[in-house]
Amino acid sequence: MNEHFYYHRQQQTVAACASVQGFGYWSGQDVRIELRPAPANSGITFVREDLNNFHRIPVSAYNRDDVPRRTNIARYGVRVEMVEHVLAALNAHNVDNCEIWTNAAEMPGCDGSSIAFVDAIASVGVVQQHLKRACLHIRHNLRVGDDECWIEAHPHSDPEQCGLNIRYSLDYGTDTVIGQQNYDMSLSAETFDSELATARTFVLEREANYLRSQGLGLRVSTHDLIVFGQDGPIDNNLRFRDECVRHKTLDVIGDLALAGCDLAGNIIAHKSGHFLNAELVKSLLIEHGVHTELARCA
């Protein structure tokens, strides 16, 4: 047993099957996913039911596929795409073991937030399982990134303290209406649902135009996510004044699910994206003596 792991609570899974459907933002392909109960110590696994062999892809930092602007995971050449929003909902609600059956590679974008997945979990509830959940207590200061964009992990002042605190600072400069935004929270299901779950994906109009020119996101409209023009959201309204930094915090929570265990400590991020978030997770696992995909069953 790794000395950095503690076992504070029972593992959990969804109590029954729950589905979410929509279309993938990047591919435009219709997709339906189903969250299914899974045994203790099995972790979160995506199952590609559209493939003949029902290919299984475990959620792990070591299975992350390096692509820009989203989190994909892959195994043996088969991938699932844009998994961060469903993982954020599962992570925030302490759903440790779950099979996510999908009939397409990309997860449904829905409204660009996690609320559809939160609602799916709430519709069936969660149940405790007979084994304890591993929690990695961060023992050392750790930083990945550079002076411009970075993310750090720090231990609690009390080494026995549980829980995860997250602070995120966003800076889009003075030439956009997004500007600078800051947000901090102590992670819980209640706080996630009330403050983060409905915060949506956002993009600048010039970024959206470029992606379309590359044949990406052609089915997405300004009603499916937030597109910022010179004067603010186009054909849409913000749900929070600081919705952008809230969504970036949501993304961090989803990417931290790649650890395969709970984390106890403090996460501080500045302009960090999916790549740096995942690099921090891998660095944390290696720093604390967990070197393989088995981290998901620590």
Long-range contact pairs involving 230-233 (C-beta distance under 8 Å, separation at least 24): 230/177, 230/205, 231/177, 232/177
Is 93 in the active site?
no
Q: Tokens for 127?
A: 């149940």
Residue of 137, 274, 288, 291 marked catalytic: 274
Pairing mode, strands 30-37 and 98-102? antiparallel
- Work out the angle between the directed axes of helices 243-256 and 274-287 (0-180°, nearest 10): 40
Distance CA 108, CA 117 (A): 10
Could you tell me the sign of the dihedral formed by the alpha carbons of 297, 109, 245, 123, in that order? negative
- The one-character DSSP state at 193 is I
Distance CA 55, CA 57 (A): 7
- Find the angle CA(216)-CA(110)-CA(261) to the nearest 5 degrees: 100
Largest CA distance in the chain: 55
Residue 265, phi-psi category: left (phi > 0), alpha (psi -120 to 50), beta (remainder) = left
The residues annotated as belonging to the active site are: 274
